[in-house]
Amino acid sequence: MKILYFAWLRERLNRGEEEVSPPPEVATVGDLIDWLAGRDEAFAIAVEKRALIKAAVDAKLVNHDTPIAGASVVALFPPMTGG
């Protein structure tokens, strides 16, 4: 699965995307965020306030409890503001 990072997440991680193969127990967006944080200290620091991180699965905005089984792309980004 491809993970895309946007805005300050991209800047803090110094990468815009990566390919990952999470283990079967990683079932939801929230699980994925926790798993990514457990394997990458920079990611863990960047998503310290996980509730602020927004997500999209295959281009559809979702909650952290959304399943990721069969997803091709998960995008993670900070809150957006209008203007």
pLDDT at 83 over 60: no
CATH number at residue 61: 3.10.20.30
Exposed / middle / buried, residue 22 (Cβ in 10 Å: 0-12, 13-18, 19+): middle
Q: For residue 68, what pLDDT is reported?
A: 98
Asked whether residue 42 is domain-assigned, the answer is yes
pLDDT at 82 over 60: no
Asked whether residue 32 is domain-assigned, the answer is yes
Q: For residue 55, what pLDDT is reported?
A: 97
Asked whether residue 16 is domain-assigned, the answer is yes
**What is the tally of structural domains in the chain?**
1
SS3 letters across the chain: CEEEECHHHHHHHCCCEEECCCCCCCCEHHHHHHHHHHHCHHHHHHCCCHHHCEEEECCEEECCCCECCCCCEEEEECCCCCC
Question: Which tens digits make up the pLDDT trace of 23-74?
Answer: 999 999 999 999 999 999 999 999 999 989 999 999 999 999 999 999 999 9
Asked whether residue 82 is domain-assigned, the answer is no
Q: Residue 29 is encoded by which pair of tokens?
A: 């967006």
pLDDT at 80 over 80: no
